[in-house]
Amino acid sequence: AQKITQTQPGMFVQEKEAVTLDCTYDTSDPSYGLFWYKQPSSGEMIFLIYQGSYDQQNATEGRYSLNFQKARKSANLVISASQLGDSAMYFCAMRVGSGGSNYKLTFGKGTLLTVNP
């Protein structure tokens, strides 16, 4: 069975500083994908970044980067230069398998990030 663990229920960061949101995963499948989504208070789910298990380099998307440590089974999200608009719930999610697999994502419980001015 697949499992995603986010150990930080809440995090605080000062505006303009960087913050790391932790995510560890567990799967025996060698092929998997890791995702981060942002959920503001308005409720929508916004895709941020994706890392494939065979990707050689860590994924980056603007101010978001994914610190992928395969041996440790961790996929931490790093947000650089935090902005007030980054305050939201952040979910780590995993898809396992390839080929005939569907996009059944397993989500973590989320981390509520608060950016202080």
Partner 1 sequence: EPEVTQTPSHQVTQMGQEVILRCVPISNHLYFYWYRQILGQKVEFLVSFYNNEISEKSEIFDDQFSVERPDGSNFTLKIRSTKLEDSAMYFCAISRDRDSPLHFGNGTRLTVT
Under the rule (CB under 8 A), what is the footprint of partner 1? 35, 37, 42-47, 50, 91, 93, 95, 98, 101-110
CB of 20 to partner 1, least distance (A): 20
Q: What are phi and psi of 84, to 5 degrees?
A: -60, -35
Q: Which of 20, 78, 68 is nearest to 48 (CA)?
A: 78
Q: Are 65 and 78 in contact (CB under 8 A)?
A: yes
Q: Among residues 5 and 74, whose Cβ is nearest to partner 1?
A: 5
CB of 15 to partner 1, least distance (A): 27
Cα-based distances in Å from 59 to 11, 64, 96 = 22, 8, 18
Q: Among residues 4 and 79, whose Cβ is nearest to partner 1?
A: 4
Q: Among residues 9 and 117, whose Cβ is nearest to partner 1?
A: 9
